[in-house]
Structure 1
């Protein structure tokens, strides 16, 4: 169905949300007219602005973008309607366009999958938090680095980007993933001679005789339903981390659908984002590492990064 046009001036956001939710039940788009956010720069959402005797409640483009995300929509480029107003259009995301829905078991994360279209390093919310974690652990000073769930190697690629050539070549990188096609790509991308990649089941790390590492990175992997989360995490700390080693754990708090990274992980048995399992897992890892004399921080938004470095 076509777009529905409506103008808002002083209506509270709760009314706008209710209207939008109702409209999207019948339409793939919705369009509305509001105060141009550029006019009220520096105001907070909900502040009243009076122009030529007409009152408006101010909201920023960020607020409108956030609302679109909550509605599982993308916000299209706004259009100037008048001297003081703009037209905003939301377009429903194709929720079926997501690797989360794939029933493929062997190559759900392979290069032919929808997952292969995702480049987390190009998402500011991911990039900023991951960079902070890498700087926090002083990645350039770590000699052996292990990444579990490396896929095609984006997490190693960012390390290569932020270090000098000499610093990078001093590193020994090991990446493990169960996707044959993804690891084949990783081997092509990192052919300088200081990286090795295994197609392997993370449940059976012992058979690889890997030794110990100065930094262990795993992002969006430990929470897999095929892994025993607590047992695997404990074994990484006890059997694979060097005495002064550090860890970077990335916990997804988002979903990927329709070309967008949408805040809030989908929890089993809930029709909305529910964070109890996420918080429980982060708390377990934080407490465990603190008991082992690690300094632990938790940062990020769409991905929450737990970073642990040895105290002393």
Structure 2
């Protein structure tokens, strides 16, 4: 079994990448490394000498990041001794993704799709920043909330947990997937929740009125939308004068059950963030011109949160 000792990370990346290149999906690559628990005070890169041989220290976080970068899943490490552990990287099936789904477009995100298995609320790097965004807009004070791309309602579930007065708030969720909306209606059968099946390109047909909070996570970047035009219209026509807005921009892909960091842009075979940054900065500048305080947070999802600072 391969044991990494004093190889630097460049050498390790090249070794594992080349080793896995021709392996089948779900192949397990096992190797031994210095036990990260050998010290609580060591930084990655520090050197330890064991039996006259030098080993480079790296944390569990570093190894987990490497697994994700190489499109692998890290299995539970096995302790060999106080000095060494065995790590196992499982090669992911990169074709196993709702992004690659051949399902009919209207049901690509439906109850029988791969997407329906995804629960972002149980991914710490999503839910932590979404919770903070809701707290920053003072969610308990909102009376009318609109969510574009609600799917089966998971984002409303978080609000129910965080808001003491959610029963005083009217929630409207819109999605073009009929089966997802049907599921949302079952999950949220209280009278202050409404769900509509519609393509958000046709939002003007719905006579919705205005809202003091608009949420949209991973929807406005749809290829069927003129993003900038739609966003400006959304703010002008559907957001109350002193309302708030939360936008979530995906900076990840879902591959073989795993949330993998890094947005995938068209025409690139690797993570490329230009489109994401361009959209985020456009929204930030536009909202600042409209007298909103804007914060940008997050990691696997980038959250833009805007609250009004208008006077009078």
Contact residue 40 and residue 49 of structure 1 kept, 8 A: no
Q: CA deviation at 1:103?
A: 2.4
1:7 to 3, 7, 20: 3
1:246-257 matches, within 5 Å, as: 246-257=244-255
Q: CA deviation at 1:271?
A: 1.0
Q: SS of the counterpart of 2:107?
A: coil
- Asked whether 1:75 is paired with 2:74, we answer yes
- Which residue matches 1:209? 207
1:9-88 matches, within 5 Å, as: 9-27=5-23, 28-88=27-87
Q: SS of the counterpart of 1:236?
A: helix
- Which residue matches 1:134? 134
Contact residue 30 and residue 90 of structure 1 kept, 8 A: yes
Please identify, of 82-91 and 239-248, the stretch whose mean Cα deviation from structure 2 is larger. Answer: 82-91
- From the superposition, tell whether residues 26 and 81 of structure 1 become closer, same or farther in structure 2 (CA, over 3 Å): farther
Supply the distance in 1 between the matched residues of 2:234 and 2:115 (Cα, whole angstroms). 26
**What does the per-residue CA deviation read over 1:160-188, in whole Å, with 9 as the maximum and x for residues that have no partner?**
01123xx0100000000000000000001
Please identify, of 226-235 and 215-224, the stretch whose mean Cα deviation from structure 2 is larger. Answer: 226-235
CA RMSD, aligned part only? 1.0
Q: CA deviation at 1:206?
A: 1.2
Q: CA deviation at 1:50?
A: 2.8
Q: CA deviation at 1:81?
A: 1.9
Q: Could you list the runs of 5+ residues in structure 1 that have no partner in the other structure?
A: none
TM-score under structure 1 length normalisation: 0.96
TM-score under structure 2 length normalisation: 0.96
Paired positions, count? 306
Q: CA deviation at 1:106?
A: 1.5
1:123-162 matches, within 5 Å, as: 123-162=123-162
Contact residue 249 and residue 301 of structure 2 kept, 8 A: yes
Supply the distance in 2 between the matched residues of 1:217 and 1:26 (Cα, whole angstroms). 43
Q: CA deviation at 1:52?
A: 4.8
Supply the distance in 1 between the matched residues of 2:229 and 2:147 (Cα, whole angstroms). 17
Q: SS of the counterpart of 2:90?
A: strand
Supply the distance in 1 between the matched residues of 2:201 and 2:123 (Cα, whole angstroms). 30
Q: CA deviation at 1:9?
A: 1.2
Supply the distance in 2 between the matched residues of 1:30 and 1:96 (Cα, whole angstroms). 20
Q: Could you list the runs of 5+ residues in structure 2 that have no partner in the other structure?
A: none
Post-superposition, which runs of at least 4 consecutive aligned residues in structure 1 deviate over 6 A?
A: none
